[in-house]
Amino acid sequence: MPTSSDLPATLHVSHHPAVLHKLALLRSVETEPKKFRELVREISWLVGYEALADARVRPITVQTPIEETEGAELADRIGLIPILRAGLGMVDAMLELMPTAEVWHLGLFRDERTLRPVEYYNKLPDTATVDLCLILDPMLATGGSATAAIEVLKDWGAKRIKLINLIAAPEGVRAVAEAHPDVPIYCASVDRQLNERGYIMPGLGDAGDRQFGTAKALLGEP
């Protein structure tokens, strides 16, 4: 595995024991889609919690049954941008954390031959409506999809963007950090490297297929 000194300072890897435990289950080839989806949601919550630690709040006054006190409410308008398909599984967890967040879907798939991202769906309105954009995608492999998503958001007018992944490859982390050094990356693991087909090793396979039970069909099995 790469050491932290090889990787950019914009990278934040969670080392929480709950994340480590759930991540091993997520990777396992034995984990069925239903359990896989639950784990994606749970790890997303934990990584997302860390990613939101510096979201801005403003003071409010709250009346308890006993007396008035000072409280805080979220000041940032937050936009969740799940990258279809696999990012969909991260949305519910992030909405539990930030119930007022807006969700803007972006459809990108990776061309299997060139490994370049192809945009096929974009539900963003004409101008940016949020202060902080969180891109949700379980996998950061070559970094092509994440870099394309960040470019779409910057063209849209987004000023503060964070990338939230579950598993990242060092190649993808470096590619994003080089193209967009202003975008912090949060994840649960940085794995060893990509294989010749652009899959993360050891990784978990194809995150979209494993969530939606389509792995067999894509492998051409009956």
Please give the positions annotated as active site.
Answer: 110, 114, 206, 209
**Helices 33-51 and 17-27: angle between axes, nearest 10 degrees:** 150
State which of positions 75-114 bind ligand PRP (CB under 6 A): 83, 85-86, 108-110
| Count of CA atoms in the C-beta half-sphere (13 A) of 175 | 16
Residue 79 binds: one of ligand PRP, ligand URA, none (C-beta under 5 to 8 A by kind): none
CB of residue 175 vs ligand URA: minimum separation in angstroms?
A: 13
Q: Which of 141, 150, 163, 204 binds ligand PRP (CB under 6 A)?
A: 141
CA–CA separation, 44 and 222 (whole Å):
32
Residue number with CB closer to ligand PRP (76 or 185):
185
Residue 143 has φ and ψ, to the nearest 5°, of 95, 0
- Regarding 200 and contact with ligand URA (CB under 6 A), the answer is yes
Which of 132, 139, 168, 176: binder of ligand URA (CB under 6 A)?
Answer: 139
The one among 133, 141, 148, 185 contacting ligand URA by CB under 6 A: 141
CB 12 within 8 A of CB 185: yes
Q: Is 110 helix (H, G, I), strand (E, B) or coil?
A: strand
Burial label, 174 (beta-carbon count in 10 A; 0-12, 13-18, 19+): middle
- Residues of this chain that interact with ligand PRP (CB under 6 A) are 83, 85-86, 108-110, 115, 117, 137-146, 172, 198, 206-208
